[in-house]
Structure 1
Amino acid sequence: MRARTLGSTGPTVSALGLGAMGMSDLYGPADEAESIATVHAALDAGVTLIDTADFYGSGHNEMLIRDALRSRDRDQVVLSVKFGSRRDPSGAFQPVPTDVDPSAVKDRLAFTLRRLGTDHVDIYRPARLNPNVPIEDTVGAIAEMVQAGHVRHIGLSEVGAQTLRRAADVHPISDLQFEYSLLSRGIEAEILPTARELGIGVTAYGVLSRGLLSGHWSAERELTAGDFRGISPRFQGDNLAANLALVEALRQVAEGLKASVAQVAIAWVASRGEDIVPLVGARRRDRLAESLAAADLVLSPADLTAIEQAVPAGSASGTRYAEVFLKTMDSER
């Protein structure tokens, strides 16, 4: 697989990364053995970037990755970890503020290192900000962990342009993690240009819009308890019907390219720039193989025009998160 470098100061990683969240959480039950086999298949295919968070499955995801990497060379893998979100024993997310003050940075990193079975995290980033904790304090605390050798690079997630500038004044930022897909293009107006000005890469999550752009979703699909999509506006009622109509339009383009809907959606994100690394959230080997084939799909200018005519910017029905979550996101202010 081809490689891309995360910004001017970040690591070189595979052109597509693996997002591991769904193997532990938020998308319904997953098979642990299949999840580990999927991680192995990704590594065998040349994927070097794995993204997780300490709150995915309340630590389960980190331990699953640890188990998957036991038979592999740790130094060949770039582990990206988010922290800060809080949960209770039932799995429910706790209200903000998130744990991103300097003492929490060091405490949560200590647990992450133990669960992952490693002495360092390659990229460490707050998942969301705490309005009561200046970004300078959070980044400064992670910078101390860089100096101590426990963290290699500092990343951010879902922050606005001004916060990105303030953070970069404290320490080089390798990459900004942000939802970016044909249905979610808010990053393009101000945040992406600012990241590029500052030499900060982008790891794009939600490239299939949580399954909407997979080409496998249907209006009849029943969601299990705890599936995040049960409260996602884009999966509700008329919104879902309108969004699936966009998917069908995209399917027509994909068929002309002899590709799947998912492959076209992923390749479109990858085409946005060499500084963008899409994260694919496959939980099974067959879905992984489909997604990784997008790395070989070359889109011509005519192809890109057809794709964006099928799914125009701003055409998604419903917001990307429920309002209760959007209110807490620095990137939405």
Structure 2
Amino acid sequence: MKDRQFGRTGRVVSEIGFGAWAIGGAWGDVSEEEARGALHAALDAGTTFIDTADVYGDGRSERIIADVLKARGGERPYVATKAGRRAVPHVADEYNRKNLTAFVDRSLQNLSTDCLDLVQLHCPPTEVYYRPEVFGILDDLVQAGKIRNYGVSVEKVEEALKAMEYPGVVSVQIIYNIFRQRPAGLFFREAKARDVAVIVRVPLASGLLTGKMNAATQFAADDHRAFNRNGEAFDKGETFSGVPYDVALDAVEAVRKLVPDNVTMAQFALRWILMEEAVSVVIPGAKNAAQAKANSAASDVAALPAETMEALRALYRERIAPHVHQLW
């Protein structure tokens, strides 16, 4: 497993991390045994970065992580969590001192630690990025010793650019994959210039870029790929990267032709992301040990040739960008 610098934090993390949404909920049934097995497999493969959130399974994801790390002992990996989506209603005014402090205190308990490595505002309303007092609260939580660093998880490139104006923001989590290429422009340049860590989520476009889905694929009722295709529960860009399912399936077949032998499409898609040096860590999810192990192996895939990269840029421009580029 190769490592990368995590922005200006002084930390070095594995370039492939573990996205812990799937072991919390909203991805169909994942047993605790499978969840623990997936996390153990990722850690065994050299993963040193775990990303979770307080709302993944209402804390289930955080608690499983704490239990696994306690059982393993040794040096603790870098654990990033998120705060804000517990607010009801989810509006800017709820990002206040009382709520953020309570959310952080709950995550401290769930993760069985006295200080959180990284707390990210969890895709807050855009207005939050224009409220300096919110970031002041996070500064105070750092001073209080409850969090070491803070960052943001965003939906839009514009939100990322605004967030980086705050000196305390050390990281930005954003969707970036073969079907969501806009961050590779101005955002990546600014992140590099400011030495802000970039965490890439939804790297496989909710599984589309595994190449294992088709028009007949069925999803469980509690899987967001069944209930959030049009943004019924949260931003639709989180589900299949916002690309219409039929359009995406056709594009997947074009991608498939570019995948080299002895590499899975998922590993190919992850390696494509890692071609961008502004990326600090990519966080694919895994429901079981086999998926986690396969994701980790993408770190060993050879660099993609220039002609492949250009073919994927062209595919995006011609087939995908009209559906997503200006939305996020």
Say yes or no: TM over 0.5.
yes
Query: How far did 1:123 drift?
Result: 0.8
Q: Which residue number in structure 1 is paired with residue 233 of structure 2?
A: none
Q: Which residue number in structure 2 is paired with residue 182 of structure 1?
A: 178
Identity, in percent, stands at 27
1:240 to 2:234 alignment: no
Q: Which residue number in structure 2 is paired with residue 101 of structure 1?
A: 96
Query: How far did 1:271 drift?
Result: 0.6
Query: How far did 1:167 drift?
Result: 4.5
1:216 to 2:220 alignment: no
1:301 to 2:306 alignment: yes
Q: Which residue number in structure 2 is paired with residue 19 of structure 1?
A: 19
Q: 1:209 to 1:165 in 2, by over 3 A?
A: closer
Q: Is the 8 A contact 1:139 1:167 kept in 2?
A: no
Deviation digits for residues 16-69 of structure 1, max 9, x if unmatched? 110000112111111210110111111111101000000111111111111211
Structure 1 gap ranges (5+): 89-93, 321-325, 327-331
Query: How far did 1:277 drift?
Result: 1.4
CA RMSD of aligned residues (A): 2.7
Matches of 1:180 and 1:270, distance apart in 2: 11
SS in structure 1 at match of 2:22: helix
Query: How far did 1:164 drift?
Result: 4.8
Q: Which residue number in structure 2 is paired with residue 329 of structure 1?
A: none
Query: How far did 1:235 drift?
Result: 6.0
Q: Is the 8 A contact 2:176 2:202 kept in 1?
A: yes
TM-score by length of 2: 0.86
TM-score by length of 1: 0.85
Matches of 2:155 and 2:244, distance apart in 1: 26
Deviation digits for residues 252-276 of structure 1, max 9, x if unmatched? 211x343111111110001111543
Query: How far did 1:187 drift?
Result: 1.7
Deviation digits for residues 120-164 of structure 1, max 9, x if unmatched? 111111012345654422222112222222211111111666655
Q: 1:316 to 1:273 in 2, by over 3 A?
A: same
SS in structure 2 at match of 1:30: coil
SS in structure 2 at match of 1:253: coil
Q: Which residue number in structure 1 is paired with residue 118 of structure 2?
A: 123
Q: Which residue number in structure 1 is paired with residue 284 of structure 2?
A: 280
Matches of 1:281 and 1:59, distance apart in 2: 17
Matches of 1:42 and 1:241, distance apart in 2: 32
Matches of 2:182 and 2:140, distance apart in 1: 32
Q: Is the 8 A contact 2:271 2:301 kept in 1?
A: yes
Which residues of 2 match residues 126-165 of structure 1 at below 5 A? 126-130=121-125, 133=128, 134-158=130-154, 164=160
Which residues of 2 match residues 256-271 of structure 1 at below 5 A? 256-271=260-275
Matches of 1:317 and 1:197, distance apart in 2: 26
Q: 1:166 to 1:75 in 2, by over 3 A?
A: farther
Count residues in correspondence. 315
SS in structure 2 at match of 1:59: helix
Matches of 2:59 and 2:220, distance apart in 1: 21
Q: Report the residue type matching 2:104 in the other structure.
A: L
Q: Report the residue type matching 1:253 in the other structure.
A: L
Q: Which residue number in structure 1 is paired with residue 68 of structure 2?
A: 68
Q: Is the 8 A contact 2:175 2:200 kept in 1?
A: yes
Matches of 1:98 and 1:86, distance apart in 2: 13
SS in structure 2 at match of 1:244: helix
Q: Which residue number in structure 2 is paired with residue 207 of structure 1?
A: 203
Query: How far did 1:165 drift?
Result: 5.9
SS in structure 2 at match of 1:40: helix
Q: Which residue number in structure 2 is paired with residue 91 of structure 1?
A: none
Q: Report the residue type matching 2:142 in the other structure.
A: V
Q: Which residue number in structure 1 is paired with residue 109 of structure 2?
A: 114
Query: How far did 1:80 drift?
Result: 0.5
1:249 to 2:254 alignment: yes
Q: Which residue number in structure 2 is paired with residue 323 of structure 1?
A: none
Q: Report the residue type matching 2:193 in the other structure.
A: E
